[in-house]
Chain A
Amino acid sequence: MSEKKSFMEKIPFLGKSGKKSFMAEMRSGNKVYREKVDWATWKRRNLNLNGLGKFIWMILRFVIIVGIAYMILYPFFVKMVVAFSSTEDIVDNTVMYIPRQGSTYFIERSMLNMNYWTSFGTTVLLSVVVAVCQLFVACVAGYGFARFKFRGKDLLFLAVMLTLMIPAQTIQLPLYIRFANFLGMDISLTNTIWPLTIMSATGLGLKNGLYIYLMRQFFRGLPKELENSAYIDGAGFFRTFFSIMLPNAANMMITVFLFAFTWQWTDTTYNSMLMPDMDLLANKASMVASSIEDEAQIAAINDTACLLIIFPLLIVFLFAQRYFIQSIERSGLVE
């Protein structure tokens, strides 16, 4: 290295070599170490081919992330705009993102057509009950599969995976019959929340197999010493499970609950099979625009209804996302 001063070093601000005014970041795993370095060091470290590559990648990554985030958020945004537009706004080409007149006509109309608050209440009840049942089964069975050895375990696990693979349409008819005449007692459970509650409590609910798999993988990733020390202290299997294992799985449980809750909320498969006449948001959605003739208004009503259905989910997600992201960071899904 020659001692000749470079052009940059002649500029007073960047100035004399040795003045530490540049931030250098060292990364090791997820930890970031920062130190101040002088211009010469910074230049040597960053202004090379490797640094150029990093810079280009940074730009590219930014473009990709912003682009995809835009694609995800844009439909929500448009739906929001449409929901607050008036009937004139939606056919006016000069109105784009700010409704000129603005009204809550579409919101009121969709709410009326969906019988919103009744449907909302039923949907909340159904989703919560189903999600709690599915979460319970997923935890218990996931733990059973992860930590116990018993005869037929692999076969049973295969069966659980098969319930995930076999399309619901294959069992649609006998399932309906079974619940229409429950236990041969001439009691019809269809169009109540019972069929799905029973199915969720026995691990047959919507995508239940996936939740069982996720919980199993999570419990497998926990160190065995956790339980062994509890056993040595004299705790039984249940006590160990409830007071040692479950608290450790809190984030994962919130994730599974979030999945179960939101997927049940928007589900159409089992809803249309077992409870087609119930006041559920997903059931009401298909006929929300049935009494309307004008095509633009149909589109606007559909958008508003869709927004009204998923808006509660968005709020739930925003509350739960912290635990959800944490669960990703600690789950250790690798076998």
Chain B
Amino acid sequence: MAETTATVKAVKPPKRPGKPLMSLERKKSLFGYVFVAPILIGLLFIYIPVLVQSAQYSFSSNAGQYGKELEYIGWQNYHDALFVEKDFLKTVYSSTVALLPQIFIILIFAFFMANILNQNFHGRSVARVIFFIPVVMSTGIVTYFDNLSSMTDMYEQGEKLNVGTETSAFDFVEIEQMLLSALGSSGLSEIIAGAIGSLYTVITSSGVQMLIFLSGLQSISINMYEAAKVEGATGWEVFWKISFPMISPLILVNLLYTVIDLFTSIDNATISYISRYYTNVATYSLASAFSWMYTLLLLLFVGLVFILVKKLIVYQD
């Protein structure tokens, strides 16, 4: 026993004088900081100071003077935002309620399309290219153009004389009306009719989600499907017992992404409401209070969704 200890001691590397030897773990954790350094710098020197400043503005008047003549007025702006500017809460409520069904429609659509694009058929690669055009195209300025009067609307209506009717392309308004009159106007039928009515919007805003689902489906091992086939599982069973649980973590990711994307996009009703207050120097402070309240509500909502859905997910290890 004593002999072994002796050999171990002999093998131990001699300490270099002056410089303590760093373990790989230590070194790794140090290099971790090096790799995330850009973000750390950005957060510490730009983002956090800017956030704090923005919070300060929301508690002061005169934010319009570029922070030079700030006057602390406590909760006054928030009080005004809640009780004086009555439109704000209404806008937040109505835009949120309008977006809730859309979140689920986008998720279901993206999941469905990802499954289709994952199957084998002739022309699959062409279909994939076309389906991902909206991912790169339908953002920012293109959405802006979609909301303007466009010749596409006139082509849709089959005549060019009703110029200036500001409907975005492919609104399927007629089908929506038809469905509503056929099904009656219960809650569910309104949601379904609304979904079909806004199919174009759904297609253009579900690109990233489709991408994430598709890559998830691609990464499921073929062995699993083969095993299921050998056991005699039907396609339906394979879908519910393999595909669905395997990509359930991505459902959470996509759910969060959809919520964030819809609620912070520039054509969100609340966001454009807040932006309007930023165009007037006199209401900068109020706009800061608005945006802080909206931010906190959004974070609360996202957190709630995260906690609720996290329980339903299957993590494989």
Residues of chain A at the chain B interface (Cβ within 8 Å): 27-30, 32, 58, 61-62, 64-65, 68-69, 71-75, 78-79, 82, 90-93, 96, 136-137, 140-141, 143-145, 148-151, 153, 156, 159-160, 162-175, 177-178, 180, 198-199, 201-204, 210, 212, 221, 237, 241, 258-259, 262-263, 266-269, 281-282, 285-286, 295-296, 298-300, 302-303, 305-306, 309-310, 313-314, 317-318, 321, 324-325, 327-335
Contact = CB atoms under 8 A, between A and B. Distances in A.
A204 B48 CA distance: 11
B113 to A, nearest CB: 8
B195 interface: no
Nearest to A142: B35
Contacts of B160: 90-93, 296
Given A165-B264, A167-B291, 15 more contacts: A73-B130, A75-B150, A75-B152, A141-B38, A148-B29, A149-B32, A156-B39, A171-B51, A296-B160, A303-B150, A310-B137, A314-B133, A324-B132, A328-B214, A333-B216
B215 A332 contact: yes
Contacts of B67: 174, 177
Given A92-B160, A174-B67, A282 B145 contact: no
Given A202-B42, A333-B216, A148 B28 contact: yes
Contacts of B127: 65, 69
B226 A29 contact: yes
Interface in B117-154: 119-121, 125, 127-137, 139-142, 144-145, 148-154
A268 B147 CA distance: 14
Nearest to A209: B260
Nearest to A302: B148
A324 B210 CA distance: 13
A144 B215 contact: no
A263 B170 contact: no
A296 B50 CA distance: 45
Contacts of B292: 170
B96 to A, nearest CB: 14
A296 B47 CA distance: 45
> In which size bucket is the chain B interface?
35 or more
Interface of B, helix, strand, loop or mixed by DSSP = helix
B88 interface: no
A89 to B, nearest CB: 9
B218 A143 contact: no
Contacts of B131: 68-69, 72
The winner among B119, B139, B170, B199 for most chain A CB atoms within 10 A is: B139
Given A148-B35, A298-B149, A173 B63 contact: yes
Interface string B195-209: 000011001000010
B57 interface: yes
B163 interface: yes
Contacts of B78: none
B250 interface: yes
Interface in B247-299: 247, 249-250, 253, 257, 260, 263-264, 266, 271, 274-275, 278, 284, 287-288, 291-292, 294-295, 298-299
Interface of B: 25, 27-36, 38-43, 45-47, 49-51, 53-54, 57, 63, 66-67, 113, 116, 119-121, 125, 127-137, 139-142, 144-145, 148-155, 159-161, 163-164, 169-170, 199-200, 203, 208, 211-212, 214-216, 218-220, 222, 225-226, 229, 246-247, 249-250, 253, 257, 260, 263-264, 266, 271, 274-275, 278, 284, 287-288, 291-292, 294-295, 298-299, 302, 315-316
A268 B266 contact: yes
B222 A28 contact: yes
Given A92-B160, A204-B42, A299-B150, A306 B63 contact: no
Contacts of B150: 75, 79, 299, 302-303, 306
A227 B219 CA distance: 21
Q: Which 6 A-B pairs have the closest CB atoms?
A: A202-B42, A148-B32, A144-B35, A29-B222, A266-B140, A150-B32
A264 to B, nearest CB: 9
B130 A299 contact: no
Choose among A92, A151, A165, A327 the residue with the greatest number of B CB atoms under 10 Å from its CB. Answer: A165
Given A163-B47, A262-B136, A296-B160, A169 B278 contact: yes
